[in-house]
Amino acid sequence: MDTAVAERPSPLTDGSPTNTPPKAPTTKTRRTATPHIELRLATFEDAPKIAQFLGDFFHLSAWANCLEYHQHKAQIYLARALANNFVVYVIALDQDEIVGVCSYHVFDVFTNAMAVMDETYVVKRLQRTDLGRRLVEMVLALAKGDGCAVMNFPICSGMPEQNSLMNMVGRHFGADPVGMIFRKVL
């Protein structure tokens, strides 16, 4: 004779039959599509705008606690690096405004070519959209086209947004954590 024993719902799990806590409602909704945002390779002429954009969010990073951003030096470096194809920048444009960047350089000194991501940032109002993924997808395709066998993502800004970037490259793009970055302020 089978006797079914009814499980008593737990008040801590909102009566869930699997006794798992209810999920808290998300306060932020993801706006998924940004087809109006143009992605393109940066050119030498974009160096001043990119330097300004990087300066706008540098103060939000952990590096701002111990370093100063020098926009003029950044602009000189970017102009040289872009002109000589040392670095690849993909910029996201909302009309004429840069609203996101993703960059990498190719490192092939000791091994076959690998790409190393440098800067990745999307302005606050577009952070919960598909724009970050679009930027990373484009950079990955470009790096593969450059003959790179690997893309390294050294994520070390110390910004709260770095958690979203880590989740995206791990979950969406299948990247694996390798190593860690330590910092000692001198």
Domain annotation for the chain: domains and CATH numbers: 35-172 (3.40.630.30)
| Residues 111, 141, 166, 120, CA torsion sign | positive
| CA 53 remoteness from chain centre | 15
What would the pLDDT profile of 79-129 be if each residue is shown by its tens digit? 999 999 999 999 999 999 999 999 999 999 999 999 999 989 999 999 889
Global pTM value = 0.75
